[in-house]
Amino acid sequence: MIDRRIIKDFDLGFLVVVVILSLIGVMTIYSSTRPLLETHQELFYLKQLNWTALSLACFFVLLIVDYRWPVRYANILYITGIFLLILVLVAGKKGMGAQRWLNLGFLSFQPSEFFKIFFILAISRYFSGLDQGRKLGAHEILKIIAVFFILPAILILKQPDLGTMLILMFIFIAMILTVGVEKKIIITAVIIGLIVSPIAGKFLWGGLKDYQKNRIVAFMDPQADPQGIGYHIKQSKVSIGAGGFLGKGYLKGTQGPYRFLPEKHTDFIFSIFAEEWGFAGSLVLFLFYLFIIWRGFDTADKARDNAGRFLALGVTYMFFFYFFVNVGMTLGLMPVVGIPLPLMSYGGTALLSNFIALSMIENVRMRRFASYY
């Protein structure tokens, strides 16, 4: 059972902001999918509300378990995650040109969403065992890449899921830089990157699916095909711009209900929110997200051990990348890579994994005083 002495260090403000963002997501999902041209409405918002309740329950249950336990068994969880990634390629459900879901009959889920957590646990366990203050050498970095990154990156790209692969890469690089890398390695890596980037770019371009290539083309020139590959970005900008400073008001937006904006309740949910709440509402929303990110870094700084520190950092890096890329996509500042807005975009597996990841930050924060052990 949970030690009552650590309950007083429970960060209620952190949880309140997480729940507020989730409920804003439910409200925006309802607004974006409400029918104006037909009588039928998909009940996405009710499904999301149910997932929110389940995710919140999991959040509290996981606080009972000391974060050092999942870190201790991180390698087993990592191997389990690899197995699930292989299984989804063999027996996964196909949809929208991808094979990312496992169907258990009563529900479907994306193993890659949970693998990101297993990945953070595994590299946190590894880095916490290193000598503090020692910078990583070239040999050790190559070993870490070979052990932790290459196989899952290949499996996830095979689905294909470019967005999740980019998240793993960002977390991986950020964690390595946090540990510390010899200066000569960084310089060498930059030089090699500049030399091989044209060849690597051509190779990667050849391996992309047509719709992934189209997204990159749309990012570079949205007017290349404004009714096709550039349509998402164009309509997203129209939605955000239509909100003005104060927005049109809740349930008064038109881009979602009239189906002008594709993926309005998933990847482009921020565009719907911005249309209804404007710049002022978007600023408040950003402050909520920045509060969570700040809380994550603050928790890492106050963690009682290296395992807690790296765990909090890994989750915070992931959350930051989710937020930064998704908002960048909707504003046309980044390519559309299928990364949802954390806590708000529709999707049960993604929402549950968000809550599980954020519960780790709360877990580390509650147990940050060594006197409790």
Q: CA 292, CA 16: separation in Å to the nearest integer?
A: 10
pLDDT at res. 36: 64
Residue 339 lies in a domain: yes
Q: Which domain covers residue 8, as residue numbers?
A: 4-34+42-368
Spatial CA neighbour of 370 closest among 6, 1, 48, 121: 6
The 10s digit of each residue's pLDDT in 17-52 is 999 999 999 999 998 888 765 556 678 899 999 999
pLDDT at res. 288: 97
Residue 154 lies in a domain: yes
Residue 107 lies in a domain: yes
Joined together, the tokens standing for residue 122 give 């595994």
Q: What is the mean pLDDT of residues 159-178?
A: 89
Q: CA 351, CA 294: separation in Å to the nearest integer?
A: 20
Longest CA–CA span in the chain (Å) reads 64
| Count of other CB atoms within 10 angstroms of residue 226 | 14
Residue 254 lies in a domain: yes
Residue 373 lies in a domain: no
Assess whether pLDDT exceeds 90 at residue 116: yes
The 10s digit of each residue's pLDDT in 264-297 is 888 899 999 999 999 999 999 999 999 999 999 9
Q: What is the number of domains present in the chain?
A: 1
Write the CA distances from 178 to 83, 234, 265, integer angstroms: 29, 37, 35
DSSP string for 304-333? SSHHHHHHHHHHHHHHHHHHHHHHHHHTTS
Residue 170 lies in a domain: yes
Between 106 and 2, where is the model more confident?
106
